[in-house]
Amino acid sequence: MKPLEGIKVVDLTSFLAAPTVQRVLGDWGADVIKVEPPIGDPARTQGSVFKMPYSDEENPAFDIPNANKRFLCLNLKKEKGKEVLYKLLETADVIVTNYRTKALEKLGFSYEELSKRYPGLIFAQILGYGENGPEKDTAGFDATAYVCRGGILGSTNERGESPINSVNGFGDFQASMCLAAGICAALVAKSKTGKGDKVTVSLHHTALFMMSIAVVSSQFGNQYPKSRKEVVNPFNNTYKSKDGRWMVFCAPEYDRDYPKIMKMLGREDLVDHEDYKNCDELNRRGKNREIIEIISKQMEQKNLDELLKLFKENDIACEKGYTPDEILLDEQAWANDCLRKIQYPTGNEWTLTTNPVRIKSLGERPEIKLSKPLGFHTEEILTQYGYGKDEIKLMKEDGVVK
């Protein structure tokens, strides 16, 4: 039995962060019904942004957040459409949405309204900036509420250089996993009390939590963005190889590993150097740049493969900076089913990423059911909820369903 088998989830979402929550819940066995308006989720055509196909038969960008769902098309601007959704919610355990609160109030699906109608329903919402404050009704996306307001844009670049353009959806997916965890906690509580709850996650708050070390330490003078030439621990830093590739090696116990690393890099003469061998003293004397430049010079004498071999043979954590195309060839990712080849109805085979949470009862390769065209399961779902053929036909004619 799958962990969430028997749990019913109504998906009233669009784009990336919120739909991915139900993708995860669906992976774990929940019955997820995605409710889309007649124009569909705008994410259905976002493949063009990422240079990916986006037809009804082949839509990898849409599959990432929308696998393992059923698809119902409802016009919620019509009373009959609202009636259908209310009927779904009568037996649902969870509704997940990223509609803004004012829009939900206008439609009649706010938390206040639904909690009165369905006391056992868990209402889960992805927000841009949270429920309070001057920005609570402001539109928020990954690039703005998470990357910019959350501090990533102003912290992760090399000091003095232009800021990064973050990978699409980087914050969205982190918020997704946070809300999935919150929903599971609420489901545990419901199993004990029978009562629903309200669970919210904002992109902004998620970013601040992921930035906890930077935010909290800034009170004590730890400033971002940093220069790689001035980091506190030179053994937790980026370095460039002879063949022009960047890598990181990470040895948090600087004092312990200093002699070993100096010998590895061919600078035995510095093993007992008073300015460099102790991390606190290194920082007190302001010698960080000196030792980093020494390490850099030694690293630049070897190609990337040589450096990785050297550090791993000496049990010093290190990795090259992988590019996405290199990730597709990474044997470690394939060995752990982090990546999986999926065949599409077109006959093409593409690689998708998988859910990172592994649950033994789901097996080594949890099922991935690709998304379907807009309204694909509409008749099936309406029939399941008691609507007859004539009534469904009339709803189609009146533009209630598609």
Report the C-alpha gap between 228 and 237 in whole angstroms. Answer: 7
What residues contact residue 281 under an 8 Å CB cut-off, 6+ apart? 274, 275
Neighbour count for residue 282 (Cβ, 10 Å): 23
- Please pick, among 11, 41, 142, 172, the residue that the annotation labels catalytic: 172
Report the C-alpha gap between 391 and 397 in whole angstroms. Answer: 10
> What pLDDT score was predicted for residue 359?
97
The structure's pTM equals 0.96
> What pLDDT score was predicted for residue 399?
97
Q: Would you say domain 8-211+334-397 falls under CATH 3.10.20.30? A: no
| 172 annotated active-site | yes
- According to DSSP, the residues that pair with 32 across neighbouring strands are 9
**Distances in Å between the alpha carbon of 60 and those of 69, 173, 369?**
15, 16, 12
Profile the chain (402 residues) by mean pLDDT over runs of 10 residues.
97 98 98 98 94 96 98 98 98 98 96 98 98 96 97 95 93 98 98 98 98 98 95 98 98 98 98 98 98 98 98 98 98 98 97 97 96 98 98 98 94
Sequence letter at residue 318: C
Delimit the domains of the chain by residue range.
Answer: 8-211+334-397, 246-320
Report the C-alpha gap between 170 and 154 in whole angstroms. Answer: 15
Report the C-alpha gap between 98 and 20 in whole angstroms. Answer: 11
Q: Which secondary structure element, helix H or strand E, spans residue 311, and what is its range?
A: helix 304-313
Residue with tokens 């330490």: 217
> Whose CA is closest to 299, among 288, 283, 312, 310?
310
What residues contact residue 175 under an 8 Å CB cut-off, 6+ apart? 17, 126, 146, 201, 202, 203, 206
- The 8-class DSSP code of residue 401 comes to B
Report the C-alpha gap between 245 and 306 in whole angstroms. Answer: 12
> Whose CA is closest to 13, among 104, 143, 87, 91?
104
> What pLDDT score was predicted for residue 164?
87
Checking DSSP bridges between strand 31-36 and strand 8-12, what pairing results, if any?
A: parallel
> What pLDDT score was predicted for residue 158?
95
Burial of 89 (0-12, 13-18, 19+ CB in 10 A): buried
Burial of 9 (0-12, 13-18, 19+ CB in 10 A): buried
Report the C-alpha gap between 83 and 344 in whole angstroms. Answer: 35
Instruction: Specify whether the CB–CB gap between 114 and 169 falls below 8 A.
Output: no
